[in-house]
Amino acid sequence: MMNFSALEHGRDAERGTSEGRTKELQIKSSIISAEIRMCGQEYQDVKRHNDTLKSLVARYQKELKDRSHAGRQLKQRTLTQARLHPERDGFSRRCIGGDEY
């Protein structure tokens, strides 16, 4: 009978150890799951911020392109007007000492 009680005691000790280890692993698992959820949320926040920045850059690039295009059109109009109406050009036909240059 001594052997039987020793076996029972060993089995109970082993069961207690495995149950304790199982609880530890369950706690670790829930902690890791919470960390994964937090990382997923942080990823979504960063992704949203990145999308916002992309649209902002696209808007600024379009505005810059529009301004550049408008500037070229204005310059072209100014050159065309100067060719068509040279008398309106503030620098043409000025006289120095009675001579035109």
Residue 66 lies in a domain: yes
Give residue 25's domain range. Answer: 2-80
Residue 16 lies in a domain: yes
| CA 100 to chain centroid | 62
- What does the pLDDT read at residue 99? 53
Residue 89 lies in a domain: no
Residue 91 lies in a domain: no
For every residue of the chain, DSSP letters joined together read -HHHHHHHHHHHHHHHHHHHHHHHHHHHHHHHHHHHHHHHHHHHHHHHHHHHHHHHHHHHHHHHHHHHHHHHHHHHHHHHHHHH-GGGSTTTT-EETTEE-
> The whole model's pTM is what?
0.49
> How many separate domains does the chain show?
1
Residue 24 lies in a domain: yes
Average pLDDT over residues 47-56: 97
Residue 8 lies in a domain: yes
Residue range 60-85, pLDDT digits in tens: 999 999 888 777 777 777 766 666 66
Percent of residues, the chain, with pLDDT higher than 70 = 67
